[in-house]
A and B are shown apart, each in its own frame.
Chain A
């Protein structure tokens, strides 16, 4: 068996690898009912075995290429770039890492397809997953359809309402979508219900967690299955300009797309890493989802991390116009990157995200997901602060077709 130490030896000891208990600094860990502890160990063992298994990797790489459509382009967004150009012609060069061009329209498929392959090798016949915006649910339903595996998706009733198109897509591909009415009927509640299902059916079921959150080994496993985003970005940057990006940005709810593009560059001190959270109606209001900016350390869904909670330790509902960012927790590695000051985290409001949604559509002919629009929105704040012509890569994590109804209620494009 590969020990935790062997696993860590492949990277420099900058501690972005979790320790044996799954901790990034003080964050992470396994705070789950005893029933799940053996399953988490089993998953970790399988993951460590297959991540270096040539047969597994060959199958995964072929699927990513032929089925998902990787590699995704690193695209120079010329008109967005022009918007932020200075009078002297300098200004940031803005590139989009086009995860929206993946099959199913978001980065989520990278993790979903890899975990389905893993589950098959572990002999699990049933897959469950939680979903917020529906992108992870769609990705999981897709991968399950591809392999003929039974698929159950938990989704909050409020999210089912605002993401009706994705509910239809999941059902069309044969997944059972179970409405979750508890709490506010959003991602937090769907995640809790998925964990309860897993506690009950752990012997034949694999839980495909959709973010870099949850108990160890999920934050590590989900990150590593998305690390291809950053790896491709490095290669493409090398080809296009012979160097590294200067700034990398991603939106952060649970944080999987940001972690996927950050990971490759955590040990490159010249690269600024910026995560953008959902500020909702403003982080001074009670309606936001900016966990890292406005939260405090606690435990949610099996991991210690920043989260939105009251003084009694009760979890507070998050708010965001974007269902995928509407989560009161965040992946533990982001908490670690924040605390170690390796990454910076900011937030933008619903209004700013909507404006960016419209701006990117008009300037680039790319309708981004509302989640992604948060990262794009932060350019308005960031670009005026920059000097010279730094190269910014934004993880364009998903396409916005799913959001047009939500946006249509708030925008009037004339």
Chain B
């Protein structure tokens, strides 16, 4: 499996902005999750974030909260999510990243969790309630197991914090584009361009921008500002929950977004 870092390196070599879709595991059910991962991979996703449903998702807005609640009501368990990952990941080009809250990791025990996640073919973790000050307990053992832990930067982060986060973040840096929780916004805030500049001045690491991006136009705007990746969550989650047409809807959205950010020197992706 391609590591997240290698994936970004290859994208940079091709001067491409990456598309990272997010879906919530187990919503509407795990079979759909497995199918969706394959569809996203074939429809332009360069990396994929898979959200593990949690009872108290503090960083998430109403769409992803509701998806997590539905998934948990169906009885989704981490074992099952990892089974899906294990079954699907060998056929994916896109590296798989788990989006999970820290208590879910702690409860299992950091070492055990990392072993199980690595075995399932997961390449990275995003833990939205784990700021850099608290991250050391996870970063070290994760590095030993080849799991890349990506840390988040927010609009409220000082440049000093950005530097500290960039030094520790693995794979890429996740720039939260809004002061707020996940969920579609009508437009991407103009300050994102400035934030990106601030991060660039402290690090060469790739920067992925997420929270609030839902349309091709917004994705293109962000790519235009020079992001290495555009992360889109709630828009996929909302469509996928939409019954039998969900798969087709996310396929279309994924293609639309990919087209939107591939306007510079269009280079055909070699599809399998």
Give A residues with C-beta under 8 Å from B.
21, 29-39, 182-183, 188, 192, 195-196, 199-203, 298-302, 309, 311-315
The distance in angstroms between the C-alpha atoms of A249 and B233, with both chains bound, is 48
Contact with A along B141-166 (1 / 0, CB 8 A): 00000000001111111100100010
B133 touches A313 (CB 8 A): no
Partner of A200, one of B131, B132, B181: B181
Q: For window 91-112 of chain B, which residues contact chain A by CB distance below 8 Å?
A: 101-108
Contact B161 A315 (CB under 8 A): no
Residue of chain A at shortest CB distance from B76: A312
Among A29, A38, A192, A301, contact of B157 (Cβ-Cβ < 8 Å): A38
Of B15-23, B43-51, B52-60, B117-125, the stretch lying at the interface with chain A is: B52-60
Instruction: Please report the number of residue pairs spanning A and B whose Cβ atoms sit closer than 8 angstroms.
Output: 110
- Contact flag A299-B156 (CB < 8 Å), given A30-B134, A34-B131, A199-B180: no
Tell whether A302 pairs with B129 under 8 Å between CB atoms, given A34-B157, A35-B155, A312-B78.
Answer: yes
In the complex the two chains form, is B181's CB within 8 Å of A34's CB? no
Interchain CA distance A34-B131 in the complex, whole Å: 6
Q: Is B14 an interface residue (CB 8 A)?
A: no
Closest to B65 in A: A182
A37–B161 CB distance below 8 A: yes
What are 9 A-B residue pairs whose CB atoms fall within 8 Å in the complex?
A29-B134, A31-B129, A33-B131, A33-B154, A37-B131, A38-B157, A202-B179, A309-B103, A312-B77
Q: A34-B153, A38-B156, A38-B161 are in contact. Are A315 and B179 (CB under 8 A)?
A: no
Chain A CB within 8 A of B176 CB:
yes
7 new A-B contacts, CB < 8 A, other than A30-B131, A31-B102, A199-B58, are A32-B131, A34-B152, A34-B165, A36-B156, A302-B129, A313-B108, A314-B72
Please state if A33 and B107 are interface contacts (CB–CB under 8 Å). no
Pick from B101, B165, B179: contact of A199, CB under 8 Å = B179
| A37-B157, A38-B157, A199-B181 known; A32+B58 contact, CB < 8 A | yes
Check: B259 CB closer than 8 A to any chain A CB.
no
With A32-B131, A34-B131, A34-B154 already in contact, the answer to whether A200 and B58 are too (CB < 8 A) is no
Interface residues of B in 27-43 (CB under 8 A from A): none
Complex Cα spacing A196 to B132, Å = 20
Question: B77: which A residues are within 8 A, CB to CB?
Answer: 312
Decide yes or no: A35 and B156 within 8 Å by CB, A311-B107, A313-B103 being known contacts: yes
* A30 contacts B133, C-beta separation under 8 Å: yes
Q: Which residues of the partner chain B approach A183 to less than 8 Å between Cβ atoms?
A: 55-56
How far, in Å, is A301 (CB) from chain B's closest CB? Answer: 8
Q: Which residue of B lies closest to A196 (CB)?
A: B181
How many residues on chain B are close to A (CB under 8 Å)? Answer: 40
Chain B residues packing against A (C-beta within 8 Å) = 54-56, 58-59, 61, 65, 69, 72, 77-78, 101-108, 128-134, 151-158, 161, 165, 176, 179-181
Shortest Cβ distance from B178 into A: residue:
A200
A260 to B157 CA separation, bound complex (whole angstroms): 33
Least distance between A194 CB and chain B CB atoms (Å): 10
Bound complex: CA of A311 vs CA of B72, how far in Å?
13
In contact, B102 and A314 (Cβ under 8 angstroms): no
Asked whether, in the complex, the Cβ of A314 is within 8 Å of the Cβ of B54, the reply is yes
Residues from chain A with Cβ under 8 Å of B133 in the complex: 21, 30, 37
Q: Is the CB of A315 within 8 A of B131?
A: no
Nearest 9 CB-CB pairs, A to B? A313-B107, A35-B154, A200-B180, A314-B55, A313-B104, A34-B154, A299-B103, A313-B103, A315-B55
| A302 contact set on B, CB distance < 8 A | 58, 129
List A contacts of B59 (CB < 8 A).
33, 199
B129 partner residues in chain A, CB cutoff 8 A: 31-33, 299, 302
Q: How far is the CB of B49 from chain A (nearest CB, A)?
A: 16
B158 touches A182 (CB 8 A): no
Chain A residues near B69 (CB-CB < 8 A)? 182
Q: CA A38 – CA B132 in complex, angstroms?
A: 12
Residue of A nearest to B157 (CB): A34
Interface centre among A32, A37, A309 (most CB of B within 10 A): A37
**Contact partners of B105 in chain A: CB under 8 A:** 313
Could you tell me if B131 and A192 are in contact, using CB atoms closer than 8 angstroms? Answer: no
Q: How far is the CA of A301 from the CA of B69 in the complex (A)?
A: 18
Contacts known (A299-B106, A312-B104); A31 close to B134, Cβ less than 8 A: yes
Q: Is the CB of B158 within 8 A of A38?
A: yes
Give the docked Cα–Cα distance between A200 and B72 (Å).
Answer: 26
Partner of B56, one of A21, A36, A188, A199: A188
